[in-house]
Amino acid sequence: MLFRFLILIGICAVTGAASAQTVGLDLAKANNCMSCHRVDRKVVGPGFMAIAERFAGNGEAAEYLAHSIRDGSRRKWGPVPMPRQSHVSPEDAITIAEWILSLHESDAQVE
């Protein structure tokens, strides 16, 4: 009985994590981020995994990155600035930022 219960919890944990991944990626696609970004490599902007790596362990990173997303960013990664993405709601910006940060050392889905 207990064993079955534990299996059930395991399944819920796995599908829960998978849907958080999908929500982040879907939001990034829906908000046109993927025209300049990829998860695993630099295109116009830095790869999201590289961003996750730079901010790993920084407890304020989600808020900071959500700010960068909505207000744009310059001179932090290279000469090309990121235009402000003010069409992204503050809530969605946080969700995307948390998703980007979750890509650090995870087996995150690419593309």
21 or 31: CB nearest ligand HEC:
31
Radius of gyration for the alpha carbons in the chain, expressed in angstroms and rounded? 16
Nearest alpha carbon to residue 96 among 72, 65, 73: 65
Contact 27, 92 (CB under 8 A): yes
19 or 32: CB nearest ligand HEC:
32
Q: Residue from 1, 4, 59, 75 that binds ligand HEC (CB under 6 A)? A: 75
Contact 104, 53 (CB under 8 A): yes
Q: Residue from 62, 65, 101, 108 that binds ligand HEC (CB under 6 A)? A: 65
Q: Residue from 14, 29, 71, 81 that binds ligand HEC (CB under 6 A)? A: 81
Residue 68 makes contact with ligand HEC by CB under 6 A: yes
Contact 51, 78 (CB under 8 A): no
Q: Residue from 80, 89, 91, 109 that binds ligand HEC (CB under 6 A)? A: 80
Residue 37 makes contact with ligand HEC by CB under 6 A: yes
Q: Which residues bind ligand HEC (CB under 6 A)?
A: 28, 31-33, 35-37, 44-46, 51, 65, 68-69, 73-78, 80-83, 85, 88, 96, 100
